Amino acid sequence: MSAPPLDSTVRGSKMQLKELPSVDRVLKLPAVAVLFDAHGRTFVTGEVRALLLDWREARLLGKSVHAVDEAGIAAALSARIESRLTPELKPVFNLTGTVLHTNLGRALLPDEAIVAVAQAMRAPTNLEFDLDSGARGDRDALVEELVCELTGAQAATVVNNNASAVLLTIAALAAKREVIVSRGELVEIGGSFRMPDVMKCAGVKMIEVGTTNRTHARDFVDAVTARTALVMKVHPSNYAVKGFTAAVDEAQLADIAHGAGLPLAVDLGSGSLVDLAQYGLPHEPTPQEALANGADIVTFSGDKLLGGPQAGLIVGKREWIGKIKKHPLKRALRVSKLTLAALEATLALYRHPEQLTTRLPTLRLLTRPLVEIDALARSVAPALARAVGAQFEVVCGAVQSQIGSGSLPVDLLPSAGIFIRCRKEGKGTGRRLNVLAAALRALPVPVIGRVADNALILDLRTLEDEAAFVAQLPGLNVRPTAS
Ligand SMILES: *Cc1c(COP(=O)(O)O)cnc(C)c1O
């Protein structure tokens, strides 16, 4: 039975409320039957109700007037359903100039890791099953050997992220006792990870030594008591102390700790597994170096310079790692099979370091030749100029990328980008640039740049899919502003 035709006339505002069809009437429309098939009766019925409620409200407020004929309803309903079905988590173009952008998901996984994750999702795995003995296994064992091979550590374990790695290490080795750390290393990372808070949360007493800019060996020696359980060194990953400074290096600190019968834990933060200096990038301390310098436990992130999934790696001496693995927090912070699959595949790439700059996206982007980025900027600029329209000027220019995620904060990488400026600069310039930035973010694959120096800046170091970027530009909807 088909519904009677709906009135599509549009008249004065009070009258129109009556013209809105009932939910029942809409549900009987043939166009809606098609949507039932595609998306299910419950979901579509809910969307019909919500749509009619929205329209009713809009009309009460005297806002826009909608065609209430069958075609108008079907179109509005389809658009609404399509937008509801778009996943909330979606790909974006990160053109911010920050390669490892925490808010945009940090490292992009290598293809090998993506394949491994898909496989681990599709079928049962030997996650905690020893295939030799047929007995229960240990999930850490899947990557432990590889991590040890690459870092030179005796033992390793993996948790949810580096914040958990630090928390677990401190809780397992020093609960109810004292941990000595330099005042120059009480870092805050991203607002919610602050070393003093982590210490408190782990149930240890933090003993700060030295000053903000200078800490000496004797400060540590003097602070050791019968209650000390751990000496801690934190890599100042997102800031630099410059000028009249002094810090105690790892080797010295290891000597002091070991002299007192204590372990030294080093939180590296990023912890690159390769020496970045070989690519002309600034050197970032490696876990190999920290261990060779005498550190007993080293923690670092999986999704920073390592270029893998979100994870926290804890490597070091068997004795301490064993204690850490047995702590109840380890179970609470353990990683999933998806993380382990991605991590194993990413780490395996390090066995062939010569290919890292092509196969590991993080290193590929960080080492991308400037001429290539520059050529890319020139190539996409005309399409961008057409899309943003005559009110904006689009020019290529030099920009500076940063590694991000607290790695090497003061070292910038020369890059190329596009500057979009208002042709008529004046009072509304900032607002118009923000409107443009919002329009770019509203594209099907949102484009994220940054507004600085009266320009919207897109750093092209991290643009790899030029065709997809250019293809969606004609859909850019920049409201022309009266000026
Ligand atoms: C990034 C960082 C952390 C936190 O690591 P997540 O993997 O983000 O949890 C801890 N310490 C240092 C020094 C860092 O740089």
Give distance in angstroms: CA of 447 to centre of ligand 1.
27
3 pLDDT tier (thresholds 50, 70, 90): very low
Whether residue 483 is predicted with pLDDT greater than 80 in this model: the reply is no
Q: For residue 399, what are the CA distances in angstroms to 46, 84, 279, 457?
A: 49, 38, 20, 8
H-only helix segments in 235-334: 250-259, 287-292, 318-326, 328-332
Q: Give yes or no for residue 232 CB within 6 A of ligand 1.
A: no
Answer yes or no: are the C-beta atoms of 427 and 483 closer than 8 Å.
Answer: no
Q: Indicate which residue's Cα is closest to atom 2 of ligand 1.
A: 269
Whether residue 12 is predicted with pLDDT greater than 60 in this model: the reply is no
Question: What is the per-residue pLDDT across 318-329, written as a single tens digit (0 to 9) for each?
Answer: 999 999 999 999
Give distance in angstroms: CA of 321 to centre of ligand 1.
19
Q: Give yes or no for residue 228 CB within 6 A of ligand 1.
A: no
Does residue 157 or residue 240 have the better pLDDT? 157
In angstroms, rounded to a whole number, what is the distance separating the alpha carbons of residues 369 and 428?
37
Q: Indicate which residue's Cα is closest to atom 15 of ligand 1.
A: 269
In angstroms, rounded to a whole number, what is the distance separating the alpha carbons of residues 13 and 481?
29
How far does Cα 308 stand from its chain's mean position? Answer: 11
**Residue (of 256, 265, 203, 199) closest to 230 by Cα position:** 265
Report pLDDT for 242.
Answer: 83
Ligand 1: which atom is nearest the Cα of residue 311? Answer: 7
The pTM of this model reads 0.91
**Residue (of 205, 204, 185, 210) closest to 195 by Cα position:** 185
Report pLDDT for 410.
Answer: 66
How far does Cα 109 stand from its chain's mean position? Answer: 11
Q: Give yes or no for residue 235 CB within 6 A of ligand 1.
A: yes
The strand pair at 178-182 and 228-234 is best described as parallel
The gap between the terminal CA atoms of the chain, to the nearest Å, is: 55
Does residue 294 or residue 73 have the better pLDDT? 294
Q: Indicate which residue's Cα is closest to atom 14 of ligand 1.
A: 269
Q: Indicate which residue's Cα is closest to atom 1 of ligand 1.
A: 269
Question: What is the per-residue pLDDT across 365-379, written as a single tens digit (0 to 9) for each?
Answer: 999 999 999 999 999
| Two tokens, residue 387 | 């899309």
Q: Give yes or no for residue 150 CB within 6 A of ligand 1.
A: no
Which of 276-280, 308-312, 354-358, 426-430 comes out lowest in average pLDDT?
426-430
Average pLDDT over residues 195-202: 94
For the chain, the 3-state helix, strand and coil shares in percent, each to the nearest 5, are 45, 15, 40
Question: What is the per-residue pLDDT across 241-292, written as a single tens digit (0 to 9) for each?
Answer: 888 899 999 999 999 999 999 999 999 999 899 999 999 998 899 999 999 9
Q: Give yes or no for residue 402 CB within 6 A of ligand 1.
A: no
Task: Give the three-state DSSP class for 450.
Answer: strand
14 pLDDT tier (thresholds 50, 70, 90): very low
**Residue (of 175, 393, 366) closest to 281 by Cα position:** 366
Q: Give yes or no for residue 36 CB within 6 A of ligand 1.
A: no
Q: Give yes or no for residue 368 CB within 6 A of ligand 1.
A: no
**Residue (of 281, 314, 284) closest to 412 by Cα position:** 281
Question: Residues near 434 by Cβ (< 8 Å), separated by ≥ 6?
Answer: 451
In angstroms, rounded to a whole number, what is the distance separating the alpha carbons of residues 35 and 78?
8
Q: Indicate which residue's Cα is closest to atom 12 of ligand 1.
A: 269
Task: State the residue for tokens 């005297």.
Answer: 62
Q: Indicate which residue's Cα is closest to atom 7 of ligand 1.
A: 162
Ligand 1 pocket, mutate which of 186, 201, 266, 267 (most atoms under 8 A from CB): 267
Radius of gyration of the chain (CA): 29
Report pLDDT for 377.
Answer: 98
In angstroms, rounded to a whole number, what is the distance separating the alpha carbons of residues 449 and 462?
11
Which of 43-57, 186-200, 351-365 comes out lowest in average pLDDT?
186-200
Question: Residues near 124 by Cβ (< 8 Å), separated by ≥ 6?
Answer: none
Answer yes or no: are the C-beta atoms of 116 and 341 closer than 8 Å.
Answer: yes
In angstroms, rounded to a whole number, what is the distance separating the alpha carbons of residues 360 and 474?
32
Q: Give yes or no for residue 169 CB within 6 A of ligand 1.
A: no
Answer yes or no: are the C-beta atoms of 263 and 295 closer than 8 Å.
Answer: no
Q: Give yes or no for residue 161 CB within 6 A of ligand 1.
A: yes
Q: Give yes or no for residue 312 CB within 6 A of ligand 1.
A: yes
Q: At what angle do helices 318-326 and 162-174 cross, to 10 degrees?
A: 100
